[in-house]
Structure 1
Amino acid sequence: MRHLRLAILALPVLVAACGNSRQVQNDEYYDDSRRARVAGRLSGNPDGLLILGTDRSSNREGGGAGAPGDGSALGVNAYLWRASLDTLSFMPLASADPFGGVIITDWYSPPAAQGERFRATAYILGRQLRSDGVRVSIFRQEMRNGQWVDAPVSAGTSTELEDKVLARARELRSQSAAL
C-alpha cells in the first residue's frame, strides 16, 4: 500500500518532466563558427577544436600538448607518451590512443621464461611532465594444464616500469631543450 502511494505521488512529477520536451535543431549546437573550426581541423589547421575549455595551442611549449614546435596535437604529455612507447617497445603493441593517453600491449612471452606471458597497459594521465603523470599496469599469466591462468605480478614491477618511463621522458625533454 505504501509503495502505491509513492507511485501515485511520483506520477505527476514524471508527467510534468516529460511535458516540456522540444525537438532540438542541429543549428542550435553547430553554428557557423563551430562549423568553421571543424572544417579547419579537417583541412589541417593546427588550432583544432576547443574541447572542455582547453586551448591546446596555448600549451605547446614544455611538452604539454605536443613537443615544442612539432605541430602535433596530442591530448597528453608528448614526452611521457614517447617514453612509454620506447619503454614498452620490447612487447608487441596491441593499440595506442595518443588522445586518450592509453597504450595497450599484446601478450609477450620472455624467451627465458617459457610457460608465462605478460601484458601491459600504460596510462598517460595528463599534459604535464610529472612523476604521477603515468601509470603502468602489468598482467601476468601462467600455463597450467594447457590453459593460460591469471597469476600475481610482483608489486614492484609496475613501479619499475613507471620509473623507467619517467627517466626516459626526462631524457627526451633534455634532448629537445638542447636542440
Structure 2
Amino acid sequence: MIRRTARLGITAVVSLATLSACASNDRPKGDLAASKITTIGVNSYLWRASLDTLSFMPLLQTDSNGGVIVTDWYVNPQIPSERMKVTVSILDQDLRADAVRVAALREINRQGQWISAPVQAATTQKLEDLILTRARDLRRASIAG
C-alpha cells in the first residue's frame, strides 16, 4: 500500500513537472490574445467595407465576432433638421449579397423635439449596395496585390 501511494505521488510530481515544462516562457507573450483579436467571425471584406462605407458617421458599437456595427446619430450638415442612425449586420463568412443587412432609423426635428420618421427603403438598399461594391473591390485588390 505504501509503495502504491509513493508511486502515485511520484507520478503526480512527474506530471506536474511535464506540465510546467509546457508552460515555457520561450513563446512571446500575447500571441494567443493577438490571434484572437485579429480573427473575426464574419467575412473580413464585408466588415472592412462596412466600416469604410460608414466612416462619415460616428460609431457607437462594433462587434467583429458577431458582425454588428451600430452608428450613433448622424446629422447631415446640409439637412440639420434630420438625423440618421444605422445598424449593419454581417450574417455570413462568405462574400455574398445576402450576407449583409442594413437597418436605419431616421428622426426629424420639430420644434426642438426629435420625432421618428420613415426611412425610404432605397436608403438601406443603397447602403447595402455600396458595402457590397466596396467589399468586392477590396477582395479584387487583395488578390491582385
TM-score (norm 1): 0.62
Aligned to 2:41: 75
Aligned to 1:142: 108
Aligned to 1:100: 66
Runs of 4+ in 1 over 4 A off after TM superposition: none
Give the strand-richer structure, 1 or 2. Answer: 2
| Residue of 83, 86, 89 corresponding to 2:55 | 89
Give the helix-richer structure, 1 or 2. Answer: 2
Which aligned pairs between 1:32-43 and structure 2 lie closer than 5 A? Answer: 43=30
User: Where does the alignment leave 5 or more consecutive residues of structure 1 unmatched?
Assistant: 1-31, 50-70
The CA deviation at 1:45 is 3.2
Superposed CA RMSD: 2.2
Aligned to 1:11: none
Aligned to 1:61: none
Aligned to 1:131: 97
Give the structure with higher Rg (CA): 2
Amino acid at match of 1:45: L
The CA deviation at 1:43 is 4.1
User: Where does the alignment leave 5 or more consecutive residues of structure 2 unmatched?
Assistant: 1-18
Q: Secondary structure at the match of 1:164?
A: helix
The CA deviation at 1:144 is 1.2
CA distance in 2, matches of 1:72, 1:176: 17
| Residue of 17, 33, 45 corresponding to 2:32 | 45
Aligned to 2:126: 160
Aligned to 2:138: 172
CA distance in 1, matches of 2:123, 2:31: 41
Amino acid at match of 1:170: R
CA distance in 1, matches of 2:39, 2:83: 34
Which aligned pairs between 1:2-41 and structure 2 lie closer than 5 A? Answer: none
Q: What fraction of aligned residue pairs are identical, expressed as a percent?
A: 51
| Residue of 78, 82, 100 corresponding to 1:116 | 82
CA distance in 2, matches of 1:106, 1:43: 32
CA distance in 2, matches of 1:172, 1:79: 6
Amino acid at match of 1:95: Q
- Bigger relative CO (Cα 8 Å, ≥ 6 apart): 2
